[in-house]
Amino acid sequence: MKATVSRKAHFNAAHRLFRPDWTDQQNKDVFGKCNNPNYHGHNYDLIVSVTGHINKETGFVIDLKVLRDIIKTEIEDQFDHKNLNLDVVEFKSLNPTAENISVVIYNKIKRRLDPDLDLQVTLYETPRNFVTYSGDK
Amino acid sequence: MKATVSRKAHFNAAHRLFRPDWTDQQNKDVFGKCNNPNYHGHNYDLIVSVTGHINKETGFVIDLKVLRDIIKTEIEDQFDHKNLNLDVVEFKSLNPTAENISVVIYNKIKRRLDPDLDLQVTLYETPRNFVTYSGDK
Amino acid sequence: MKATVSRKAHFNAAHRLFRPDWTDQQNKDVFGKCNNPNYHGHNYDLIVSVTGHINKETGFVIDLKVLRDIIKTEIEDQFDHKNLNLDVVEFKSLNPTAENISVVIYNKIKRRLDPDLDLQVTLYETPRNFVTYSGDK
Amino acid sequence: MKATVSRKAHFNAAHRLFRPDWTDQQNKDVFGKCNNPNYHGHNYDLIVSVTGHINKETGFVIDLKVLRDIIKTEIEDQFDHKNLNLDVVEFKSLNPTAENISVVIYNKIKRRLDPDLDLQVTLYETPRNFVTYSGDK
Amino acid sequence: MKATVSRKAHFNAAHRLFRPDWTDQQNKDVFGKCNNPNYHGHNYDLIVSVTGHINKETGFVIDLKVLRDIIKTEIEDQFDHKNLNLDVVEFKSLNPTAENISVVIYNKIKRRLDPDLDLQVTLYETPRNFVTYSGDK
Amino acid sequence: MKATVSRKAHFNAAHRLFRPDWTDQQNKDVFGKCNNPNYHGHNYDLIVSVTGHINKETGFVIDLKVLRDIIKTEIEDQFDHKNLNLDVVEFKSLNPTAENISVVIYNKIKRRLDPDLDLQVTLYETPRNFVTYSGDK
């Protein structure tokens, strides 16, 4: 019996959408006010969903205390109260769109999980804009 | 790499569940208090989810400003502060159940998207009742 | 010891902002798209707050089952799945703005409560627009 | 045309994670503070999602009044204001983890539905921890 | 300049409404299904609101890290994953209604605050039922 | 008859808690991770509440379209997708704590309102931390 267990987390960060290899005008045209050179910010909400067999003995797909600690170490401790562009190594040369942040989060958590478990992450940049990523398929 | 980008929108509308080819009693039996001839109404919440490849240059599946404008033109401008039965052409001869409204919204948005993009819509009639539609499969 | 006990309720209704003694143009100028002659609608959320002494024996300000039944009889049974302008006697000659609906709700509930209890009602017309009324002071 | 119709419900219950065939230390190590012998509790939120063809005549996948009554009879009347371990027969010998509660809820509702309808249940133990189950596949 | 600073917290607990000096029938009549002898439970949400002057140097009414730690030590560590009736000393001889829990929380936090600060607590027993208490006035 | 009308708004901004006249150590000790020199950010939610007499003719305390436009011009257009410390003139020499931002918002909106109307603003820095300010009293 397979089930999906989900855990919500959150982090507050500054970011800016920007490509250094584009002109200022190109950056402005594509990224609009998200391109503000002084940065803006969000309360990011994150849902991490893990799918696998329910262990018959424990009744768990994954111990949520373990999942919570992985999210804390890999994501919250790295991203919370940070400037994603300046403080987080993964975005030194990757534009921190919600799509790209989701892929980075997926990869950081996936390598910490048992390979039999499937992973999906949903990242809310605002309550009205969010992205779901579940690996390259 | 494929991801799903979602945008929330909303509109406030009146409606009534009703089939003109049924007797009053049939309408009452099937549609209950939703059949009130003087209409009732809802704050409809809408989640529009678009799935596709993450563009390597922009880091976007779809520019959310573009998606927001499609939702505004196709749905909010047509449905908000309207009586769905009387003011919206698609429901002149289609009963505006949450299921049917979802199909209409799907069709109106789908034809505005790049055909490579997959679409799913979730329509909340109330915070407790909602419908998801992702095309005829 | 005084405390305030609150109970949330909700009803779905159609309405229209409109004064019959005004010209169509006046109605349009003041009430905008809320003036649509075919009505529009909302999921109204209601918070009813009752303030009084905590009864030492029961530990209650008011039994929430009693409050719930008053709200059901006075408000939900009268307003839910109704057209406020056409189906609710209080709005036959009173414009159903959120302010006026709040006053009507306050008056209907207040007369059912022990006079020692203070009442406040908060009515959400949408999640972004709401009104609070606590009697004529 | 297939769509998914969802209905939210909720129940408030006490529970304890515990295996009688384990030592106290094993129970404590695996279940942590959820193992408190005096129980703790939750406001469980439940989303029941039913997928099927939209009936052309009614515009319904399933009449939500019917689905609401199934949820009330099978789940809310059995679980609400109960101690899951002591008062609910299904958990006499099954540890009430969110995963196991989801499977029990799925089975209780599935047998009441038309076999052509697919079912998925999502159970929120807290707003931050939830489980999704859609049958043994 | 006075402002109010609020912090949300939560705890999951079991409880039962019950007076040992009443007959079973009296307990049942007044407390209904909340009287279940095997307990039931809630995810309690708590809002702690502190009012005082804005310190000109820090721009704080109270450092939220300090307030968060007071709530953790006084409330979350004492109440979370507990049975209020059996595990929490304050309710050994006090019926844990939402009103009484609010008064206990108020008193535990108030004595930890600078006497110049005013306090109000709002306790959500469920998203639909909540109590506000701001001291004996 | 007096009532309070509230309107929710929001803006996404970067900020940093920092006093230039303090040493780095003082800033770190008092403001903790909110002192990150590269900034972090939030989705700020704002509730603007206006209290006054219900106009007998319109049934309005204040036309919400007017209030919405004041909030847009005075707050959203100035603060959204901005760095509060660098881009907003009011915080050039004022530390942007939630308390101080609330006072600035109050002052900017108050001067646009009829002096007979009372104002209160509530600013959510996160869903768990918020500040309420209603003028110097």
pLDDT tens, position by position, D15-46: 999 999 999 999 999 999 999 999 999 999 99
From chain C, the residues in CB contact with B130 under 8 A are: none
| pLDDT given for residue B117 in this prediction | 98
Statement: residue A137 has pLDDT above 80: no
Closest alpha carbon within chain A to D33: A65
| pLDDT given for residue F14 in this prediction | 98
Mean pLDDT by 10 residues, chain F (137 residues): 97 97 97 97 98 97 97 98 98 97 98 98 98 92
Domain boundaries, chain E: 2-133
Distance CA(D96)–CA(F81), nearest Å, equals: 46
Shortest distance between the Cα of B131 and any Cα of chain A, in A, equals 18
Q: Which residues of D touch A (CB under 8 A)?
A: 17, 19, 30, 32, 94-100, 102-103, 127-133, 136-137
ipTM: 0.95
> What predicted TM-score, i.e. pTM, was given to this entire model?
0.96
pLDDT tens, position by position, C53-65: 999 999 999 999 9
Distance CA(D37)–CA(D18), nearest Å, equals: 8
Q: Do chains B and F touch (3 or more CB pairs under 8 A)?
A: no
Mean pLDDT over C21-48 rounds to 97
| E62, E66, E71, E77: CA torsion to nearest 10 | 180
| pLDDT given for residue D127 in this prediction | 97
Q: Which CATH topology does A2-133 take?
A: Tetrahydropterin Synthase; Chain A (3.30.479)
Mean pLDDT of chain A: 97
Distance CA(E61)–CA(A24), nearest Å, equals: 42
| pLDDT given for residue C119 in this prediction | 98
Strand pairing report for F82-83 and F2-15: parallel
Tell me which residues of F are annotated as active site.
34, 81, 125
From chain C, the residues in CB contact with F6 under 8 A are: 129-132
Q: Residue type at A24?
A: D
Backbone angles phi, psi at C135, to 5 degrees: 95, 165
From chain E, the residues in CB contact with C65 under 8 A are: 32
| pLDDT given for residue B109 in this prediction | 98
**Does E59 sit within 8 Å of F133, measured CB to CB?**
no
Mean pLDDT over B46-54 rounds to 98
pLDDT tens, position by position, B122-132: 999 999 999 99
From chain A, the residues in CB contact with B1 under 8 A are: 103, 133, 136
Mean pLDDT over D105-111 rounds to 98
Closest alpha carbon within chain C to F8: C128
Tell me which residues of C are annotated as active site.
34, 81, 125
**Does B3 sit within 8 Å of A132, measured CB to CB?**
yes
Distance CA(F84)–CA(F75), nearest Å, equals: 12
C-alpha distances out from residue C126 to C27, C81, C98, E106, F136, Å:
21, 16, 10, 32, 30
Distance CA(B76)–CA(B72), nearest Å, equals: 5
Buried (b) or exposed (e) across C63-85, using 16+ Cβ within 10 A?
ebeebbebbeebbeebbbbbbbb
pLDDT tens, position by position, A81-105: 999 999 999 999 999 999 999 999 9
Assess contact for A130 and A124: CB atoms under 8 A: yes
pLDDT tens, position by position, C62-89: 999 999 999 999 999 999 999 999 999 9
> What is the share, in percent, of chain B residues with pLDDT greater than 70?
100
| pLDDT given for residue A116 in this prediction | 97
| pLDDT given for residue B137 in this prediction | 72
What 3-state class would DSSP assign to B88? coil
Q: Residue type at A137?
A: K
Closest alpha carbon within chain B to A123: B5
**Does A82 sit within 8 Å of F43, measured CB to CB?**
no
| pLDDT given for residue D137 in this prediction | 72
Closest alpha carbon within chain A to B6: A130
Statement: residue E49 has pLDDT above 80: yes
Task: Please report which confidence band the pLDDT of residue B136 belongs to, taking 50, 70 and 90 as the band edges.
Answer: confident
Tell me which residues of E are annotated as active site.
34, 81, 125
Q: Do chains B and E touch (3 or more CB pairs under 8 A)?
A: no
Catalytic-role residue among A15, A42, A74, A125: A125
Tokens of A60: 């768990």
Distance CA(A84)–CA(F40), nearest Å, equals: 8
Q: Do chains D and A touch (3 or more CB pairs under 8 A)?
A: yes
Mean pLDDT of chain E: 97
**Does F86 sit within 8 Å of A33, measured CB to CB?**
no
Assess contact for E123 and E101: CB atoms under 8 A: yes
Neighbors of chain E by Cβ distance (3+ pairs < 8 Å): C, D, F
Its sign, for the CA torsion C52, D41, B130, B25, is negative
Mean pLDDT over D53-58 rounds to 97
What 3-state class would DSSP assign to F56? coil
Mean pLDDT over E14-20 rounds to 97
Mean pLDDT over E36-44 rounds to 98
